[in-house]
Amino acid sequence: MSYRRLRAVCIKELHHITRDPRSLAMALAVPVLMLLLFGFALSLDVDRIPTMIYDMDQTSDSRALIRQFQGSRYFDVRSLVSDYAEIERGIDRSRILIGVVIPREYSRQLGASRKAPVQILLDGSDSNTASIALGYVESMVRGYSLQLRTVAINRRGGEHLVPPVDARLRVWYNSSLESKNYVVPGLIAVVLQIIAALLTSLTIAREWEMGTMEQILSTPLRPAEMVLGKMLAYFAVGLADATIAVIVGVFVFDVPFRGSLPLLAVSICLFLFGALFWGIFVSAAAKTQLQAYQLGVLSSFLPSFLLSGFIYSIENMPPVIRLITYIVPSRYVVTILKGIFLKGVGLSVLWGELGFLALYAALVFLLATRKLNGKVG
């Protein structure tokens, strides 16, 4: 392999990149736009749940229960209604998610130390959100019920009753339980996968369509030198995108960074190598730029979003789909970024994921070289 030929290809691609300032600006701006859009819009937090309450009892006990809902950050009590029809209209028009109905005998049942049922009407159109909201309701009602029972027993016995179990929770790595701290590191990995694949997916196909490939073939340039030279040119753009994405994640979204910066740099470089080589392989396999672009989007966007564990838990997927995720590089870089950002773990924990990224980059480089060699032949 000749360093001079490798350098010449890299410089040629850099000139091609810099001569199209609009495309370069888009390559640098799109990751930021995607991070801002998805980072602010994609939230897994379920709080401030719109709620209506129908109080049929109208007593101090029922008003105390209403105050429990009003005082919780998980519920947003929009209005106190006077019949079932208003709750039904609110759910039908998607104005509320939960309707709470306190029956007429609520206070009397409490005074007689009997069960006092409270009806919860839930919009189950979005099953995931509905399940989380139902868990919040059950947890709050259960805690309030225990509080009422403790007060009643204390009044009868004349002494303070202490609950037998005192659970003290400590949340590690994301103590504020904000979904952005979980979403943004994974989003950085997904954005880099998409951008890197799209940057290089057109490069070989463009050479064939513009007629410059014949001129290149007349030189002593080897396929491996062409692949590496083109990759290094776009690697500089990908590295700039990665730097911008990390800065936006830390300083715009305030995602905690607890790990090693050198380990983060090495991980991103390995990932970019594999993603850029894959884009070149797709470009070498395609016949036109349109086909290369479509294959690049299909092979980077969908796996990164659906099979990387970025949003959907891999453990909850069917066994066959779980097996497929093992060949998706985004799965490993998402794990690495979340480990470095949130947990501060190092090479002793992440060596397996880093090893896969290195193996993937080497394998895709060989595939791209062989594919290009076959086309040249």
CA 202 to chain centre: 27
Residue 198 has pLDDT above 70, yes or no: yes
CA angle centred on 224, ends 222 and 228, rounded to 5°: 120
Q: 40-44, 70-74, 208-212 — which is least confidently predicted?
A: 208-212
Residue 65 has pLDDT above 80, yes or no: yes
**What local confidence, expressed as pLDDT, does residue 253 receive?**
86
**What local confidence, expressed as pLDDT, does residue 262 receive?**
93
Rounded to an integer, the average pLDDT of 27-31 is: 80
Phi, psi of 346 (to 5 degrees): -120, -155
Roughly what angle, to the nearest 10 degrees, separates helices 179-200 and 223-247? Answer: 150
Phi, psi of 312 (to 5 degrees): -95, 130
Bigger pLDDT: 202 or 86? 86
Do the Cβ atoms of 289 and 202 come closer than 8 Å?
yes
Q: In what order do the strands lie in the sheet with 75-81?
A: 75-81, 49-55, 98-102, 119-122
Enumerate the domain spans of the chain.
3-43+178-376, 49-157
Please report which helix (H) or strand (E) contains residue 80, including its range: strand 75-81
Winning range, highest mean pLDDT, from 29-43, 58-72, 176-190: 58-72
Fold classification of 49-157 is abc type-2 transporter like fold (3.40.1710)
